[in-house]
Amino acid sequence: MKICVVGAGWGGCAAAVEAALRGHRVTLIEATRTPGGRARSVPLERADGSTLVLDNGQHILIGAYTECLRLMHAVGADPGLLLQREPLALVFPDGEGLALPDLAPPWDALIGTLRARGWPWRERLALLARAARWRMDGFACAPQTSVAQLCAGLPPRLMAGFIAPLCLSALNTEPEQASGQVFLTVLRDSLFAGRGGSHLLLPRAGLGALLPEPAVGWLQAQGHEVRLGRRVQALAHDAGGWRVDGEAFDAVVLACPPGEAARLVREARVPSAWDDPLRAWAATAQALDFGAIATVYAERPGAGAPLLPRAMLALRTAPGQPAQFVFDRARLGGPAGVLVFVVSAFAGERAALQEQVIDQARASLGIEGLQPLQTVVERRATFVCRPRLARPPRAIVPGLQACGDFVQGPYPATLEGAVRHGVAAARALD
């Protein structure tokens, strides 16, 4: 079939590559000139004229991201070179926290919890008992349950030092608002899915080099068409099939942001029998609430060695100290002196953020002389993953699919979620 994929984020690239692998002819259309969507590379030109490749937000993958890894291999991107694999560790600058050994589950979580530094035995046993209960319950809870309710009764320090950072990093939603069921699904499919599933896969290159840019190059090399810098204006359906800005296709996959997908669906010229389902789909997509993620890049000029003992550290938050994680680019193949601070569920103002993060680095890490390089605030980074959230389905009407990370599914807005929806949409075309 002749397939049009609208949007070249991770979901769109996945849909396009999977459709091509299944023998379809693909046209991939992207409104911007850079593929990758909310996980793309952004070059920064320094004052001295040199260029530093940053990203529009610090992302990580984990070992359970099997579809991301499969498609990277398919388009010629080597995960072994591009990603640094480490056992899961949520360790703070003072050494406290959880670091899992490289063992098969559940032994990695069991031994890691028993060895956790700075946790009294009462807290370690409380976490193990709660995890055992979740596993016995099949990692399921009442749909209205929040993460805070799911973890009620756990010691406050355990909530602040483990549950909250894990929830924010996975769901970009505060525990009081976050879906307990989605949180349990993430735990099940990462910590208990198999050896290496919980491993951190930290990018050693720009996000664009992991999947979007190799996917675009692979598609073009296979004879498929990629159009960057073009925004799709209208969809229509007639006796000849689907039309994208007047061009005929057998099927269309919408991999654009939910607001843009809702516009195209709502304004599509289609048979009258499809009016109601299209309006309902667009209304559900439009009703989603979104949370922001802020990423602050800072540099200590003249640094000749890594500034942190690990590639990634967790940070304790407090008023005026908003970052939950910090990454050292020197430990990921990048230049010495560049740190990346991540603020999930960000609700502040950009102007004050850089100064707060620099102060937090001084207080928490003891690092002086940091200078801000760039601050990226993605205001609509992810949907707010609340309990019982109504998400639009992947299948809209015959021949029209959606595959953003916001469509119905068990996962929050993650790279793997977007890629899995893209793969599923391409397979549904058959």
For the stretch 53-108, pLDDT in tens is 899 989 999 999 999 999 999 999 999 999 999 999 999 999 999 999 999 998 99
Q: Does residue 106 have a cis bond before it (omega within 30 degrees)?
A: yes
351 φ, ψ (degrees, to nearest 5): -60, -40
Range of the domain at 316: 290-383
**Claim to verify: residue 282 and residue 297 sit in the same structural domain:** no
For residue 261, tell me if it sits in a domain: yes
**Claim to verify: residue 375 and residue 407 sit in the same structural domain:** no
Average pLDDT, the chain: 95
For residue 270, tell me if it sits in a domain: yes
**Claim to verify: residue 395 and residue 279 sit in the same structural domain:** yes
**Claim to verify: residue 148 and residue 93 sit in the same structural domain:** yes
pLDDT bucket at 48, cuts 50 / 70 / 90 = confident
Where is 191: in which H helix or E strand? helix 180-191
Domain containing residue 223: CATH number = 3.50.50.60
**Claim to verify: residue 268 and residue 409 sit in the same structural domain:** yes
**Claim to verify: residue 178 and residue 106 sit in the same structural domain:** yes
CB 428 within 8 A of CB 419: no
**pTM, whole model, 2 decimals?**
0.95
CB 87 within 8 A of CB 99: yes
Instruction: Say what the pLDDT of residue 53 is.
Output: 87
**Claim to verify: residue 98 and residue 134 sit in the same structural domain:** yes
For residue 56, tell me if it sits in a domain: no
Task: Please write the tens of the pLDDT for every residue from 293-307.
Answer: 999 999 999 999 999
**Claim to verify: residue 102 and residue 171 sit in the same structural domain:** yes
**Claim to verify: residue 92 and residue 164 sit in the same structural domain:** yes
> How many structural domains does the chain have?
3
For residue 154, tell me if it sits in a domain: yes
Question: What is the C-alpha separation between 357 and 366, in angstroms, rounded?
Answer: 12
Domain containing residue 374: CATH number = 3.90.660.20
Q: Among residues 198, 220, 255, which one ends one of the domains?
A: 198
